[in-house]
Amino acid sequence: MKRYRISEILAENSPLKIGEEINVKGWVRAFRSNRFIQLNDGSCMANIQAVVDFEQWDEALLKRITTASALSLTGKLVESQGAGQRVELQVEHIEILGDAHPDEVQKTVMQPKRHSLDFLREQAHLRFRTNTFGAVFRIRHSVAFAIHQFFNERGFYYLHTPIITGSDAEGAGEMFRVTTLDPKNPPLNEDGTIDYKQDFFGKPVNLTVSGQLEAELAATALGQVYTFGPTFRAENSNTSRHLAEFWMIEPEVAFNNLKDNMDLTEDFLKYICSYILNHCSEDVKFLSERDAQEQAQKPQNERNEMTLLERLKFVIENPFKRLTYTEAIDVLMNSNHYKKKKFKYPVEWGIDLQSEHERYLVEKEFNCPVILTDYPAKIKAFYMRLNEDGKTVAAMDVLFPGIGEIVGGSQREERYDVLLQKCEEFHIPAEELWWYMDTRKFGTVPHAGFGLGFERMVMFVTGMSNIRDVIPFPRTPLNAEF
Ligand code: 4AD
Ligand code: MG
């Protein structure tokens, strides 16, 4: 008997007819009155209702049909008596594929009731079985797919950049070392430092913090490329927006300037939001209702007035607000919030904006996504292009409501001499980056790119407020379980 996935059976345009004999496999969500099984196979949010005629079955077998057990059910599709579903399954054959231990299920997230996200996180291996996480991870998949589709439609090439690297692209020194040396007894140089010449690669290497530098090399030949891979940062920030291991998408485009870069980013983020609205409507609807319940529990002034659905539509339909860092500092300093001393951190030209400043701009002042450009050179990475004023760089950060920084990017410094000077100022050994510097010697051109934090994007489209809830197995300081 052919097995169908529940999404195929329940689809409005399903070719399956009433009376047709089919097989479904999945896990029991609930079993009521020894008669109604709610079966879920992960293909969609909805369960299929399977009806058993209990007189026909052995009591011992029925007893094994409990929440979380795995079944293979064969039977006829019949019109559903209850509301909500077009069809249900009249069961003719039951096979128990895997038993569940009812007293243990009681202790897990599979017990059908509302659980806290903290509790769900402790059981990250089981939380896929809940409606919320089913929806989140189906959407996560679709965001990834939409990203590949967006770039493919525009003639970008997907580039795999190395995960193990010797360079610190961002220059922030937040890297995880990769080594095969014995930590108890590493080979030493005469001066007592570790002799990395004896390590696997013959030099110190780490997990990548960004694929950008390598992407730039490819962009100056293939024209337009993007990376989509895991990145690692050993920053000790235990916030709801930081992971030690996260995924990043980094397009890099030859001949683009900062304005082109902003246009590409805006199109890209809007494309992802529309894709999710159009392709994951059932999951988004569920998460939107979930989000509305969460919002209702917050104090009035912290509530998001828009539902998740409205937020997605808002991003698609409205232009992002674009302004320079310098203008943003003015806005902050002229705000009542500032005058009433409500910011915890100081505001003045030259500071690195704190999340409270970014949130003020996005959520209070402009109430829409914001692109901030032209930051002070000192607070941004060495590779960003120096502006005419000699003190700002062609940087851009995209700030999203409820998320903060979702994208960071820039036009790159394509002038060899200026780049060399920047390396010196930032104490970056240009000779180690000889391969990067080389691109500026052989037909160097203006080029630009950006990095989208994949999980932050998934947070936005799912309405989940903690980044640990949009990646299957989060890695954060002191936490690498599962
Ligand atoms: O702003 P970042 O550090 O930019 C870069 O890495 C550049 N090389 C990108 C480029 O121009 N090609 O990081 C880019 C984005 C951030 O805006 C944020 O969304 C995300 O990556 N991000 C993190 N996401 C989760 N956890 C962390 N610890 C993150 N750090 C950055
Ligand atoms: Mg950044």
Tell the residue nearest (CA) to atom 23 of ligand 1. Answer: 453
How would you list the strands of the sheet with 164-165, edge to edge? 164-165, 205-207, 177-178
Provide the token pair at 127: 């939380």
SS percent in the chain: helix, strand, coil, step 5: 35, 25, 40
**Are 26 and 71 a contacting pair, CB within 8 Å?**
yes
Contacts of 274 (CB under 8 A, 6+ apart): 316
* Rounded Cα–Cα distance for residues 178 and 207 (Å): 7
Residues 249 and 397 in one domain: yes
Q: Among 14, 38, 45, which Cα is nearest to 24's? A: 38
* Rounded Cα–Cα distance for residues 277 and 275 (Å): 6
Contacts of 60 (CB under 8 A, 6+ apart): none
Closest atom of ligand 1 relative to the 235 alpha carbon: 28
Residues 416 and 314 in one domain: yes
DSSP annotation of 127 reads G
Is the shortest distance between the CB of 161 and ligand 1 below 6 Å? no
Residues, beta carbon < 5 Å, ion ligand 2: 408
* Rounded Cα–Cα distance for residues 78 and 87 (Å): 6
Class of residue 118 by CB neighbours under 10 A (exposed 0-12, middle 13-18, buried 19+):
exposed
- Asked whether residue 119 is assigned to any structural domain, the reply reads no
Residues 99 and 216 in one domain: no
Class of residue 223 by CB neighbours under 10 A (exposed 0-12, middle 13-18, buried 19+):
middle
- At 439, the amino acid letter reads T
- Asked whether residue 188 is assigned to any structural domain, the reply reads no
Closest atom of ligand 1 relative to the 406 alpha carbon: 19
Residues 220 and 293 in one domain: yes
How would you list the strands of the sheet with 447-453, edge to edge? 157-158, 224-232, 245-254, 447-453, 404-411, 392-400, 370-376, 321-324
Per-residue pLDDT of the chain (482 residues; tens, 9 = 90+): 999 999 999 999 999 999 999 999 999 999 998 999 999 999 999 999 999 998 899 999 999 999 999 999 999 999 998 777 889 999 999 999 999 999 999 999 999 888 999 999 999 999 999 999 999 999 999 999 999 999 999 999 999 999 999 988 787 778 999 999 999 999 999 999 999 999 999 999 999 999 999 999 999 999 999 999 999 999 988 999 999 999 999 999 999 999 999 999 999 999 999 999 999 999 999 999 999 998 898 888 778 878 999 999 999 999 999 999 999 999 999 999 999 999 999 999 999 999 999 999 999 999 999 999 999 999 999 999 999 999 999 999 999 999 999 999 999 999 999 999 999 999 999 999 999 999 999 999 999 999 999 999 999 999 999 999 999 999 999 999 99
Residues 245 and 393 in one domain: yes
Residues 90 and 158 in one domain: no
Contacts of 45 (CB under 8 A, 6+ apart): 131, 134, 135, 282, 283, 286
- Residue entry with tokens 């904006």: 353
Residues 100 and 135 in one domain: no
- Asked whether residue 242 is assigned to any structural domain, the reply reads yes
User: Per DSSP, what are the bridge partners of residue 399?
Assistant: 370, 405
Residues 220 and 76 in one domain: no
User: For residue 63, what is the enclosing H or E element?
Assistant: helix 59-63
Residues 411 and 286 in one domain: yes
Residues 436 and 364 in one domain: yes
Considering every ligand atom, which ligand is closest to the CA of 410?
Answer: 1
Residues 344 and 255 in one domain: yes
Could you tell me the sign of the dihedral formed by the alpha carbons of 349, 355, 357, 363, in that order? positive
Rounded distance from Cα 274 to ligand 1 centre (Å): 23
- Asked whether residue 399 is assigned to any structural domain, the reply reads yes
Domain range enclosing 30 = 6-108
- Asked whether residue 182 is assigned to any structural domain, the reply reads no
Strand ranges for 236-338 from DSSP E: 245-254, 321-324
- Asked whether residue 198 is assigned to any structural domain, the reply reads no
Q: Among 248, 272, 287, 309, which Cα is nearest to 145's? A: 272
Tell the residue nearest (CA) to atom 15 of ligand 1. Answer: 453
**Are 476 and 468 a contacting pair, CB within 8 Å?**
yes
* Domains identified in the chain, total number: 2
- Asked whether residue 91 is assigned to any structural domain, the reply reads yes
Q: What is the CATH number of the domain that holds 155?
A: 3.30.930.10
DSSP annotation of 258 reads H
Angle at 312 between CA 310 and CA 313, to 5 degrees: 65
Q: Among 183, 156, 352, 161, which Cα is nearest to 256's? A: 156
Residues 278 and 322 in one domain: yes
pLDDT of residue 236: 87
Is the shortest distance between the CB of 474 and ligand 1 below 6 Å? no
Rounded distance from Cα 170 to ligand 2 centre (Å): 9
- Asked whether residue 479 is assigned to any structural domain, the reply reads no
pLDDT of residue 396: 98
Instruction: Give SS3 for 174.
Output: coil
CA 49 to each of CA 28, 61, 82, 153, 261: distance values in angstroms, whole numbers, following the listed order = 10, 18, 10, 40, 50
- At 150, the amino acid letter reads F
Q: Among 361, 468, 374, which Cα is nearest to 405's? A: 361
* Rounded Cα–Cα distance for residues 163 and 176 (Å): 11
Provide the token pair at 22: 């089919």
Q: What is the CATH number of the domain that holds 68?
A: 2.40.50.140
Provide the token pair at 42: 């992960």
- Probe ligand 1: pick from 239, 240, 272, 456, max atoms within 8 Å of CB? 456
**Are 167 and 432 a contacting pair, CB within 8 Å?**
yes
Is the shortest distance between the CB of 408 and ligand 1 below 6 Å? yes
* Overall pTM > 0.85: yes
Is the shortest distance between the CB of 250 and ligand 1 below 6 Å? yes
Could you tell me the sign of the dihedral formed by the alpha carbons of 289, 291, 297, 302, in that order? negative
Is the shortest distance between the CB of 360 and ligand 1 below 6 Å? no
Angle at 198 between CA 195 and CA 201, to 5 degrees: 110
